[in-house]
Amino acid sequence: MAEQLEPVLVVIPTYNERDNIERIVSRLRAALPKAHALIVDDGSPDGTGEIADRLSAESDGHVHVMHRTEKNGLGAAYVAGFQWGLERDYAVLVEMDADGSHSPEDLPRMLDALADADLAIGSRYVPGGKVVNWPKHRYMLSWGANTYARIALGARVKDMTAGFRAYRREALQKIRIDNVASRGYCFQIDLGWRTIEAGFTVVEVPITFTEREHGVSKMSSDVIREALIRVTKWGLRRRGTQLKSLFSR
């Protein structure tokens, strides 16, 4: 990894991940010993925050913890973590789930891809990428959501909903993350689309996505509804802009 792309901050949102957080932080430290982690805990009642504090105390300054008082959505947790990292001059900011579905061992390849890009997405749907242990309905839901987002927005990215990403700080600074309203997994589409619209270079790096072994998925009907409504609005706005440009010639 090029020297100018350090230091790296990996933002890990948590809510009731006591069975996973220690394992994923250990794997991250092994895969990227120089990287820092920021655990953003949304007041987990299962004691995740206390485990995070212990990991921080034992980490010689490489693990940090942000305690938030309520569960306010994945998007809000990432925005808070990104803002924390930007204020401390991290060169690269990474999104990674706490449940083990994202392999920290894939991060070196994603960071290497930033040599020629502003956003590297750990993708399930490019050649070499795959999903392990997902029930068929979850796969079809994800595939359908990505297909719809790609068509509605005219994007070439295969995995718009991917939650494993590495951003150069310059991209996050320009796309104004402070006014992101998306709360659930739609946040991924939102930031990806903003990055594309701002003219930044996006690359997809194949990864293996593994369904969590412990805990409960945060996917819900409200999350799906939010994504459908917002993507439809963004797509219609894009079509409107295209038509306006066409008729103004």
Q: Which residue has the higher pLDDT, 233 or 67?
A: 67
Q: Which residue has the higher pLDDT, 42 or 149?
A: 42
Give the range of the structural domain holding residue 114, as residue numbers without chain letter. Answer: 3-247
pLDDT for position 213: 66
pLDDT-based confidence at residue 86 (cuts at 50, 70, 90): very high
Q: Where are the beta strands (DSSP E) in the chain?
A: 8-14, 36-41, 63-67, 92-95, 119-123, 130-132, 165-168, 202-206, 208-210
- pLDDT above 80 (res 224): no
Of 39, 34, 10, which is closest to residue 102 (Cα–Cα)? 10
The tens digit of pLDDT for each residue in 11-29 reads 999 999 999 999 999 999 9
Our measurement of the distance from residue 202's CA atom to the centroid of its chain's CA atoms, rounded to an integer in Å, reads 14
Q: What is the mean pLDDT of residues 99-127?
A: 96
pLDDT-based confidence at residue 223 (cuts at 50, 70, 90): low
Give the N- to C-terminal CA distance of the chain in Å, as an integer: 46
pLDDT for position 241: 64
Amino acid present at 121: I
**Rounded Cα distance, 215 and 194, in Å:** 31
Name the range with the highest mean pLDDT among 145-154, 220-229, 234-243.
Answer: 145-154
Q: What is the mean pLDDT of residues 61-71?
A: 92
Query: What percentage of residues in the chain have a pLDDT greater than 90?
Result: 62
Pairing of strands 208-210, 165-168: unpaired
| Residue 214 to residues 91, 106, 123, Cα–Cα distance (Å) | 32, 21, 22
Q: How many domains does the chain divide into?
A: 1
Of 30, 32, 33, which is closest to residue 111 (Cα–Cα)? 32
- pLDDT above 60 (res 217): no
In CATH, what number is assigned to the domain containing residue 176? 3.90.550.10
